[in-house]
Amino acid sequence: MVASQETTGLTMNLACRVGALLIFTFFSTPALPWGAEGHQAVGAIADQLLAGSPAGAKVKEILGFELRQAGPWMDCLRDVQKQKDGTFKYVHNPKFGASCVDFKDGDEKARMEDYARRNWTNCKSTSTPPRPCHTEYHFADVNVQHFDYCACAGTFPHDIVRAINAAVAVLQDKPAPAPFSIKDKKEAIFFLAHFLGDVHQPLHVGAVYLNPKGRLLNPDGKGGLNKASETHGGNSILDGKTNMHSEWDAIPKDLHAGPDKAVMQRAQQIPATPGEIDTWAASWASDTLRGAHTAFIGVSFSAVDKNKKWTARYADRKAYEATQGKLKREQLAKGGARLAQIFKTIWP
């Protein structure tokens, strides 16, 4: 199907920049159903890059787990629920299986319940109705008509860039800035092990805003943000039996067991991020935002349905999936390399 005029214009405007982004995305395996496997892959890449280093030893001493194990922790917290008596209880969900099993009992279970309690209502939720604050630390929804993370629609005081910076501050022996509650360095490492994955997932940073007919809007333009135009990082865009966000959360099936040789080689090639460490998260988000442009090239959208959702339509689904798989591998390599860079910088 031919893309809409607005989407075609987006394609033409972004094509030259997106082409540069894909120079290194050299893999060909198609993506299948970044859940736990994606976060484990980012952690595993960092584990290998930190092996034998002072930073690796320090992370192991504080965390007590491999980063591969720690990666899904922030998602395990979604199964902590507030009880009628005001207490918080974690109930292990078999859906997440082995990815959360290390945290389901004893002190680790108590840590999750305490963390959720401290990060439940400590922010001004961006959602209607309000959600637990810690569930909103995972993303920003920057309009893909931008090329850089900015103070604009879709960013907020507790978004993913601020969350990463808060965890880095704690590792530097500084207090976590409001609204985040991070009680110790172990918790800060849990933050980073997960959020370095999320900040490299294109639809955790970039988003399209659509009118009821499925045409692109600019929430930073005249008239400002209309909440009804939000697609929530693709969660409100249907794609067959799932949604666009979930399709991008998935990683190539052959990486479920861990990064392969090609991904590790690419991770070793990722250059160190320049500048001060507290500028890195915004820089990475900008890089991912440019990658998010790829996710919307060759895509048009149906009119909104009665459930306030749109449907994605692809000019060439096979070509789209091939590009998607390549970009995912690149982003996983960057996430693992940059996670290791944080720790090597703090503990050289």
CATH number at residue 251: 1.10.575.10
Domain assignment present for residue 313? The answer is yes
Percentage of residues in the chain having pLDDT higher than 70? 89
Residues 6+ apart with CB under 8 A from 17: 147, 290, 293
Domain assignment present for residue 318? The answer is yes
| pLDDT band per the 50, 70, 90 thresholds, residue 96 | low
Which two structure tokens, joined as six digits, stand for 208? 């399209």
Domain assignment present for residue 198? The answer is yes
* Number of domains forming the structure of the chain: 1
Nearest alpha-carbon partner for 164 in 336, 337, 280: 280
Domain assignment present for residue 161? The answer is no
DSSP label at residue 78: G
Percentage of residues in the chain having pLDDT higher than 90? 85
- What pLDDT was estimated at residue 224? 87
Helix, strand, or coil (residue 107):
helix
- What pLDDT was estimated at residue 157? 97
- What pLDDT was estimated at residue 12? 34
Per mean pLDDT, which of 53-57, 128-132, 255-259 is the most reliable? 53-57
- What pLDDT was estimated at residue 98? 75
- What pLDDT was estimated at residue 7? 41
Domain assignment present for residue 315? The answer is yes
pTM of the predicted structure, to 2 decimals: 0.90
Domain assignment present for residue 166? The answer is no
Domain assignment present for residue 172? The answer is no
- Over residues 275-294, the pLDDT tens digits come to 999 999 999 999 999 999 99
Domain assignment present for residue 43? The answer is yes
Please state whether beta strands 142-143 and 206-207 pair in parallel, antiparallel, or not at all (unpaired).
parallel
Question: Is 21's pLDDT higher than 60?
Answer: no
What backbone torsions phi and psi does residue 189 show, to the nearest 5 degrees?
-70, -40
Mean pLDDT, rounded, of the chain: 90
| pLDDT band per the 50, 70, 90 thresholds, residue 24 | very low
- What pLDDT was estimated at residue 309? 98
CA distances from 134 to 117, 178, 334 (A): 10, 13, 24
The H or E element spanning position 293 is: helix 280-295
Domain of residue 313: give its range. Answer: 5-69+142-154+180-346
